[in-house]
Amino acid sequence: MEIDAHHWLKGARRLPSPNCDARPDPHGISLIVLHGISLPPGEFGGGLIDRLFTNQLQPDPSGPLADLAGVRVSSHVLIDRQGHCTQYVPFDQRAWHAGRSSWCGRPNCNDYAIGLELEGVDDRPYAEAQYQQLIPLLRTLLTTYPGLSPEAIVGHQEVAPGRKTDPGPAFDWQRVLLALG
């Protein structure tokens, strides 16, 4: 995997999100936050994540996604269940993925973190194809951005404890961290 001069992942599908802005320090990337997402909850595929991250989601007010009406969120990259990568925000920009968050006493993780979404839920194993994409992507990010390290790869639940639980206990942290050496 490679990242181009404009901070886009080469070979990934690009679907730019309006839900981003400039980082306070574009050279200060020092954290990777892993997320799990499925829309509707527990269902995979269907394009609803793309619509959420591009402000095209029109949820039924009485449906399972009603609480997402008007929400403005994004991520840098989504890895779907088949292992396909979609990038929504270039890595040097601030994606709106972590919400109210802090890491090691430093608030506002979006300012300095890269957000990676995995299509999944907390209690079901993630797909092999996702790990086959995630691990090389993490290696590429660690090589490209010198402020990153394997110790600075965390789950959403670690930067927003009590508020978030993803990627959940079904995510194989040991596999990922061992692969990164």
The residues annotated with a catalytic role in the active site are: 117
Torsion sign over Cα 3, 6, 11, 13: positive
Q: Cα dist. 181→71, 116, 175 in Å? A: 38, 20, 10
Q: Which residues are CB-neighbours of 152 under 8 A, at least 6 positions away?
A: 30, 31, 32, 103
Q: Which residues are CB-neighbours of 143 under 8 A, at least 6 positions away?
A: none
Distance CA 129, CA 180 (A): 17
Beta bridge partners of 78: 86, 117
